[in-house]
């Protein structure tokens, strides 16, 4: 899973690719629709899609002349699960730190 996460987060390190993933979370889209809001050439944009596809975050299928791109839910779920785990760890640490600070403050008041 660690190597998958490396690929996922490396692919998501670019704002264009994050925007594509965000758009695909609402449903599949043709490449032309995904490309439209981005001020770059189509070949440059296709490189971004290639990185997302290589990372396993998206897949595409061609029907006639239209290439439609889909999100890969399993990959997104793995990335999200890792983030949730990290959040739980850090929330626990912050809770313990807060409790320690409160204990120290009470001890200072009581002298």
Predicted local confidence at residue 2, as pLDDT:
63
- Please report the pLDDT score of residue 92 as a whole number: 86
Tell me the mean pLDDT in the region 8-14. Answer: 92
Interatomic CA distance for residues 91 and 49, integer angstroms: 35
Ordered structural domains, the chain, with CATH:
2-110 (1.10.10.10)
CA distances from 68 to 63, 84, 85, 90 (A): 8, 30, 33, 39
pLDDT of residue 13: 93
- The mean pLDDT of 5-17, rounded to a whole number, is 92
Q: What percent of the chain has pLDDT over 70?
A: 97
Under the banding of pLDDT at 50, 70 and 90, the label for residue 81 is confident
Average pLDDT for 6-27: 94
φ, ψ for residue 58, nearest 5 deg: -135, 165
Residue 38: pLDDT band by 50, 70, 90 thresholds? very high
* Helix 2-11, helix 73-110: angle, nearest 10: 90
Whether the Cβ atoms of residue 55 and residue 10 lie closer than 8 Å to each other = yes
Please check whether residue 58 is in contact with residue 72, taking contact to mean a CB–CB distance below 8 angstroms. yes
Query: What are the helix (H) ranges across the chain?
Result: 2-11, 15-24, 31-35, 42-55, 73-110
């Amino acid at each position: 899973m660690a190597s998958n996460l490396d690929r996922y987060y490396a692919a998501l390190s670019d704002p264009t690719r994050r925007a594509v993933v965000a758009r695909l979370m609402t449903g599949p889209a043709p490449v032309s629709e995904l490309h439209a809001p981005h001020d770059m050439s189509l070949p440059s944009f296709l490189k971004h899609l290639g990185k997302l596809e290589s990372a396993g975050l998206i897949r595409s299928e061609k029907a006639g002349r239209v290439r439609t791109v889909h999100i890969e839910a399993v990959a997104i779920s793995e990335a999200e699960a890792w983030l949730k785990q990290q959040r739980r760890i850090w929330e626990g640490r912050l809770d313990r730190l807060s409790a320690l600070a409160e204990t120290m403050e009470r001890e200072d008041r009581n002298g």
